[in-house]
Structure 1
Amino acid sequence: MTKYSVLVPFLPRRPEQLLPYAALVDWTHAERLWQGQAMLVDPFHGFTAAAGAGFRVPVGLGVTLMPLRHPFEAAQQARSLAMTTGHPVVAGFGPGGKSFQQSLRGAPYASPLTASREYLTIVRGLLDGGTVRIEGEYFSCHGGLPPSPAPAVELGLGVLRPGMARVAGELAGTAITWLTPAAYLKDTVLPAMREGAEAAGRPLPRLTAMVPVALRGPDRDPADLAQASNAPHLAAPHYVDMLHRAGIAVDRHDIPLSAKRLVAGRAFLYGDPDELAGMFAEFQEAGVDEIVLNTTGVFNLYGHQAAMADLKAILTAVAQ
């Protein structure tokens, strides 16, 4: 059965801003609280602060960017977060865009797939308690974490296209997607994950979809909400390529038009609670194990209370 989780729909500037969303997870049937990469309050620190404030809830990092952390630090931070919250953690990683890689490394990864494979192999080996001895093309590690009991850490990998989906099938506990329509997940992502898992001789990992969503309202335009939620992604080459593969003809030079096409292609979901429940069923039928409700567009246009009201209404509808 598909589970529902909540994404923090903004970049926190103070850790206490996370608390209403942690409380929502604590007080409803939502599975976990997610946050992506943030250059203000880092998600590792924000979730730790929420736990210290009394909201010890399951959390997911989806995704943090590999150039920012050596895999040893990533493993240590993920296990530390599990120990702090007292719950299993989903630690998702991804290489980021080429321009981001260039700015931090001096050059983009010649093979993001190889870089991701090395990164996850090192993190998994460290979290499994062994001594890791890997000399990779992009990442190397010779060492181990001190042994300690801790809740489990599930590794996630950010996935947009078939190549990374195969790597997720080989190594990850879950593939984490963003802005991906249900049909594309069913026809492209999941088969590639299955191919990678079968080649590695392991079970198919979970599939987690970050789904941008908004409730229908008399003063709301779905294209405006889609643009407010995803404008940077609509200009990023790797997202444009994925959406073209999914049959959505976005144009990185015409963001308003692209936002309309996101809605028409069901990459951005808009409707009343019953309509949204039907759209979520398409994700469930596509093989998605966890839907993460992303109300960033609502937050950016209407503020915190509107985003929280949408989340509460949607969670109530899918619980029935």
Structure 2
Amino acid sequence: MQIGLAYGDVRGQRDLGVIAEQVRATSGTAWISQGPNLDALTTLALAGRGAGELGTAVVPFPQRHPLVLASHALTVQAATGNRLILGIGAGISRMVGGMYGLPTDRPARRLREYLEVLRPLLRGESVNHHGDTLTAVGSVAVEGAAAPPVLVAALGPAMLRVAGELADGTITWMTGPRTLTNHVVPSITKAADTPPRIVAGFAVCVTADEGAVRARFAKDFALAGQVPEYRAMLDREGVDGPADVLLVGDEDTIAKRLDQLRDTGITDLMLAPIGTAAEQARTTEFLATQHGHDRRAGPAGAR
């Protein structure tokens, strides 16, 4: 199981220069969430070339035509030495409809058509698609850019099936270990021809004041617990809200939680350190010791 770090809006970060510097310094996968502020793909392009992978988690696709997204993604590939993992998603329906006035019905159908167009475009192929939800005619060519792997933010059964059939894997957020084990991992694996990449995202804080951190997180992410897409996963997990799936506690507590998540069958963790500056620094320092490490079996037993 690989451990990567998340940056950007998910952590309330706004300084483009600071984020780019942190991304360049990340040895594992550096993930950028696409929020209402900084553009995730542009941020990764600014980070440039380095050692680790660069991922978006995720770019909502309804407001980005596949010809536009393919151009943007391949430009990032050229700028970064082909290190991009392109994570996309249907977006939160309340935002897609309320902010952009775009349709949110038939999300699985829209995702299927979008991937049927996007994947060939990323490979440099021409498309001539006139479908139920999408029209796309043309091609994109960026010299030196290879097609990036595509992961999909998929939670429900229909979306996981499409992700398994047409993408390289999935990315989840605030989805607990029970739901990963019993729903996400088996659903997408069954639909996929080859083993999918399964990235599970969590907020994390190494701290001596678990109660205070959990209370702040419950307040800051209260709205997320009401969003239907996340609410369904919290209900599957049997918890009340986002704070119940937060990874929080001292180093030993977090190490045990990481061991539990390794057993779910996921391939990657995307962890967003939260809390005070001191807590985030402590968290980041601890996570750097956990790459490829399984406390029960030693480094050779890591999956």
TM-score, with structure 2 as normaliser: 0.87
Contact 1:12 1:40 in 2 (8 A): no
1:21 aligns with 2:22: yes
Contact map agreement 1:66 1:96 (CA 8 A) in 2 = yes
Q: CA RMSD in A?
A: 2.2
Q: Does 218-227 or 120-129 show the bigger shift?
A: 218-227
Secondary structure of 1:120's counterpart equals helix
CA distance in 2, matches of 1:107, 1:38: 17
Say if 2:151 and 2:168, in contact at 8 Å, map to a contact too. Answer: yes
1:59-208 to 2 correspondences below 5 Å: 59-103=54-98, 106-146=101-141, 148-197=143-192, 202-208=193-199
Equivalent residue in structure 2 for 1:213, among 184, 204, 214:
204
Q: Secondary structure at the match of 1:316?
A: coil
Q: Which whole-Å CA distance do the structure 2 matches of 1:133 and 1:17 have between them? A: 41
Percent of aligned positions with the same letter in both sequences? Answer: 24
1:316 aligns with one of 272, 278, 289: 289
Deviations 1:207-243 (A, max 9, x none): 0011221113147524224325633311212211221
Q: TM-score, normalised by structure 1?
A: 0.83
Q: 1:255: which partner in 2?
A: none
SS at match of 2:256: helix
Task: Supply the distance in 2 between the matched residues of 1:72 and 1:122 (Cα, whole angstroms).
Answer: 8
SS in 2 for 1:68: coil
Q: How many residues align?
A: 291
Q: Would you say 1:246 and 2:237 are equivalent positions?
A: yes
SS in 1 for 2:221: helix
1:41 aligned residue (28, 31, 38): 38
Q: Is the 8 A contact 1:160 1:178 kept in 2?
A: no
**Residues 1:268 and 2:246 aligned together:** yes
Unmatched runs of 5 consecutive residues or more in structure 2: 294-303
Query: What are the Cα deviations for residues 64-110 of structure 1, in whole angstroms up to 9, with x where unaligned?
Result: 11122101111111111111111321111111122222235535322
Deviation, structure 1 residue 151: 4.1
Structure 1 distance, partners of 2:222, 2:17, is 27
Instruction: Report the CA distance between 1:62 and its aligned residue.
Output: 0.6
